[in-house]
Structure 1
């Protein structure tokens, strides 16, 4: 982090509401957790009474099986955002340029600016066509947040190869990739993968994630990683969750079904909805959404104001939950429009 840059960098808005009596569709969290998670968390209380094993062998082994890499390539972090910060921190120096997609997760540009770097914004659908030479880093988000779209796998791999040839680190944010059956970029030369467990496994407060890298990038991540970078209970629960392949498969099937149902309901009401492989839908409501969002909140439903994403001015992002949540949202939309 560059001390001279901190004062000029603002915080980034996010979804999520802590209001107990609303239907919160602003944060993209699985409404279910793997069987046995509560028991594992409770049993891990004793782990919290001492420092965790800084090698995290069980967690790294589970993560390696989850994404398909060597356990030694896994760098445990307190959530996907910590992996992103670590990757940018060991790569981007003051004055360096980085390719950043938009609309996409706002923390990329913030972390680059905190490092003293200069984000160069590129429409996400054009990013893979850019020449990465001369950039310290390029960032891809698959599926992209907030659009939910994934690039063609061949195009993504070809871009990763061009980044490696140019000496440009490719940071692949795969926070939502577990909701799809697409292959991770973990293990490719020159790529740092950032993964989050909190969304797929319904545990946003757990703060568990990891990075995956090879070669010099891995060595730098390991050197810079804080000691005890993941709490003992988070490591225990994370390892348990990542080993539950049945839960992941069931989640993907349910998500595909419920996402299609929600998209159909929104389109029946005249909204333009972006195709998505993620647990959310980007919806063009035809005008700045402030009044609609306020009306929905008055009726107990909270959506994500997507105009806080660069390049969007009349969009909302809607989390895909279950049939009951979809029915309630559509009912309230019918009331307030």
Structure 2
């Protein structure tokens, strides 16, 4: 991290609310979690009086099965954002350049600037066609947050090949990829994949995730990783969750069904952006975004003001939850 850049960099707004009196549609986390997690956590907590085994062999094995890569390529991290920071720390320095999608996850811009590097914004649907040669790093988010579109796998692999030819490290944020049946780029040479267990498994407070990279790039990540990067409970719960394949499939089915139902209903009032993710981006047109957000909250539902994402000035984002909760969302947004 570049010390001189820290003073020039600000924190980034996120969704999520601690107000338990409202339904939270502002954060894109699964409202369900796998059966058995409580017991796994309790057992691991009893072992937390000792330092974790810094090898994290079981967690890495589970992660490797989950994304189909070599366990030796897995680098455990405290959430997907920690994986992203680690990737930028080992690839960027002052004066370097990084391609980033915009609008997208605001932490890319912030984390790149903290290294003293310069983010170069490109529309998410155009980034795979950009020449990576002038840049040290390129970032792709798939499905993209907040727009929800999934990158075409063949185009993404072709872009990865062009990045290798130009010695540009490709960082692929797959935080929402497990809500789709698209394959991971984990293990692709010259690529750092960042994964989060927050979204699919409904456990944002656990802070568990991982990065995947091979060769010299993977070795640099492994050396730079903080010691004891996962707590004992986070490692145990994370490994357990990644082996719950029926839970993942059931979640995908529910999200796809409810996303389509929500999109159909909401399209009567708003311009709904097509999505492959567990959320929908809504253009509210000439309505005041703040008023839409405040009205929904007064009706018991928190939604995300998406004007905090660059280039969006008339948008809100809503998560996809259980059918009864989604009905509450529709009621909260009726006639806003």
Verify: 1:275 aligned to 2:274, yes or no: yes
Runs of 4+ more than 6 Å apart:
none
Separation in 2 of the partners of 1:198 and 1:49? 25
Separation in 1 of the partners of 2:262 and 2:141? 23
Matched residue, 1:163: 163
Separation in 1 of the partners of 2:112 and 2:273? 28
Moved more, 295-304 or 86-95: 295-304
Separation in 1 of the partners of 2:152 and 2:59? 30
User: Equivalent residue of 2:60, what SS?
Assistant: helix
Moved more, 141-150 or 43-52: 43-52
Q: CA RMSD in A?
A: 0.8
Aligned residues: 335
Verify: 1:263 aligned to 2:263, yes or no: yes
User: Equivalent residue of 2:280, what SS?
Assistant: strand
Give the TM-score normalised by the residue count of structure 1. 0.98
* Structure 2 unmatched ranges of 5 or more: none
**Structure 1 position 47, deviation (Å):** 2.1
Separation in 2 of the partners of 1:106 and 1:333? 26
Give yes or no for contact 2:295–2:332 (8 Å, CA) kept in 1.
Answer: no
* Structure 1 unmatched ranges of 5 or more: none
CA deviation string 1:259-287 (max 9, x = no partner) = 1111111013x211111110000010103
User: Equivalent residue of 1:227, what SS?
Assistant: coil
User: Equivalent residue of 2:198, what SS?
Assistant: coil
Moved more, 325-334 or 103-112: 325-334
Separation in 2 of the partners of 1:89 and 1:57? 24
**Structure 1 position 310, deviation (Å):** 0.7
Separation in 2 of the partners of 1:142 and 1:39? 33
Separation in 1 of the partners of 2:162 and 2:132? 7
Verify: 1:38 aligned to 2:38, yes or no: yes
Matched residue, 2:192: 192
Separation in 2 of the partners of 1:222 and 1:165? 24
The equivalences for 1:238-253 within 5 A come to 238-253=238-253
Separation in 2 of the partners of 1:46 and 1:198? 23
CA deviation string 1:1-34 (max 9, x = no partner) = 0000000000000000110100110000101111
The equivalences for 1:75-154 within 5 A come to 75-154=75-154
CA deviation string 1:200-229 (max 9, x = no partner) = 000000000000000011010011001001
**Structure 1 position 134, deviation (Å):** 2.3
Verify: 1:172 aligned to 2:172, yes or no: yes
Separation in 2 of the partners of 1:52 and 1:332? 45
Separation in 2 of the partners of 1:118 and 1:331? 43
**Structure 1 position 299, deviation (Å):** 1.5
Matched residue, 1:291: 291
Give the TM-score normalised by the residue count of structure 2. 0.99
